[in-house]
């Protein structure tokens, strides 16, 4: 299941947009135009700094120090390997008039060059993932074949609106100002990426488009509601179907302003109560 696989399973079973299903040779069991639509995620643009006068994961997991950290975890469950992946975070507002935060800083005590190549740099560094919490952009997930072994097509449609673009740029400026604060100067050596040559909003936006990525919090593709694009009702039952429920992050009408793991567990807990009460 999940926001990628739940719409795929429904479409393969004949539940979804009739024209799309017929074009793939799938018999329409029930027409639900919202299946696979409304894909949302948190978009993250990762900024990196070289630091000084401090140890980071870059240097703590190498050589004899790395061996010691490994033994410390195995024998005592202590050390850097016992830390969460992102031990520091902050929820911030890019504009004072906002009622709640629109950006999350996910701070990682290390640096690596790219999402694809996660080998840590040799010199100490810090990464701030400037993460958008309430994006306006909407994408979709749809099957491309009646073969269940083929992956569905995923289109995130990130940074599709002007407000989304303005928000990520404002968040990146805020992260830079934080790292340039006087209290950080004993530790902050220089900005690695996007780097000091990136000065304008356009520079930041170009970097975000090139290096940014979805933050692995997909949601919304089988959204709950009573409008024509809703897939499940308030009891998580698929509209127009009997004994068919969707229980995962895909039912969120809007992705939560934070990580999706705990809310999804809560959805499952509630679903268990609802299904037991019904049956």
Residue 20: give its domain's CATH number.
Answer: 3.50.50.60
State which of 214, 235, 261 marks the end of a domain.
214
- Model confidence at 229, pLDDT cuts 50, 70, 90, reads very high
Active-site option among 30, 173, 217, 243: 217
Judged against a pLDDT cut of 90, whether residue 84 lies above it is answered with: no
Q: Is residue 110 domain-shared with residue 203, that is, in the same domain? A: yes
For the segment 243-267, the average pLDDT, to the nearest whole number, is: 97
Residue 202 located in a structural domain: yes
Catalytic annotation on 30? no
Range of the domain at 248: 2-40+217-278
On whether the CB atoms of residues 11 and 21 are closer than 8 A, the answer is yes
Q: What is the mean pLDDT of residues 29-49?
A: 98
Q: For residues 167-203, b (16+ Cβ closer than 10 Å) or e, as one string?
A: bbbbbbebbbebbeeeeeeeebeebbbbeeebeeeee
Instruction: Please check whether residues 245 and 183 belong to one and the same domain.
Output: no
Residue 154 falls inside a structural domain: no
Give the model confidence (pLDDT) of 50-79 as tens digits: 999 998 988 888 878 888 888 899 999 998
Percentage of residues in the chain having pLDDT higher than 70: 100
CA distance 145 to 149: 9
- The alpha carbon of residue 34 and the mean position of all alpha carbons in its chain are separated, in whole angstroms, by 21
Residues 240 and 113 in one domain: no
Domain count, the chain: 2
Alpha-carbon distance of 118 to 216, in angstroms, equals 16
My answer on whether 116 and 251 are in the same domain is no
Q: With a cut of 80, say whether residue 117 has pLDDT above it.
A: no
Q: Are 166 and 173 in contact (CB under 8 A)?
A: no
The predicted model scores a pTM of 0.90
The three-class DSSP label of residue 139 is strand
d(CA 242, CA 184): 59
Same domain, yes or no, for 188 and 52? yes
Mean pLDDT of 149-166: 97
Q: Do 174 and 60 share a domain, yes or no?
A: yes
């Amino acid at each position: 299941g999940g926001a990628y696989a739940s719409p795929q399973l429904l479409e393969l079973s004949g539940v979804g947009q009739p024209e799309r299903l017929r074009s793939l040779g799938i018999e329409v069991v029930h027409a639900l135009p919202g299946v696979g639509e409304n894909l949302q995620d948190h978009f993250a643009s990762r900024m990196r700094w070289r630091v000084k006068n401090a140890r980071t994961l870059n240097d703590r997991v190498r050589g004899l120090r790395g061996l010691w950290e490994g033994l410390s975890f195995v024998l005592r469950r202590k050390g850097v390997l016992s830390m969460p992946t992102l031990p520091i975070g902050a929820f911030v507002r890019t504009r004072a008039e906002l009622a709640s935060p629109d950006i999350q800083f996910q701070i990682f005590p290390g640096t690596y060059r790219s999402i694809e190549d996660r080998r840590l740099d040799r010199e100490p560094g810090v990464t701030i993932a400037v993460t958008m919490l309430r994006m306006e952009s909407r994408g979709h997930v749809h099957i491309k074949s009646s073969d269940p072994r083929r992956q569905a097509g995923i289109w995130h449609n990130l940074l599709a609106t002007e407000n989304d673009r303005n928000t990520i740029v404002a968040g990146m400026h805020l992260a830079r100002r934080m790292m340039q604060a006087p209290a950080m100067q004993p530790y902050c050596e220089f900005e690695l990426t996007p780097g000091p040559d990136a000065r304008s909003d356009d520079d930041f936006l170009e970097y975000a488009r090139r290096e940014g990525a979805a933050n692995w919090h997909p949601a919304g593709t089988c959204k709950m509601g009573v409008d024509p694009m809703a897939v499940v009702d308030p009891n998580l039952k698929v509209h127009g179907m009997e004994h068919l429920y969707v229980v995962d992050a895909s039912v969120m009408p809007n992705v939560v302003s934070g990580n999706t793991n705990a809310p999804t567990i809560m959805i499952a807990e509630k679903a268990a109560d609802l299904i037991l009460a019904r049956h």
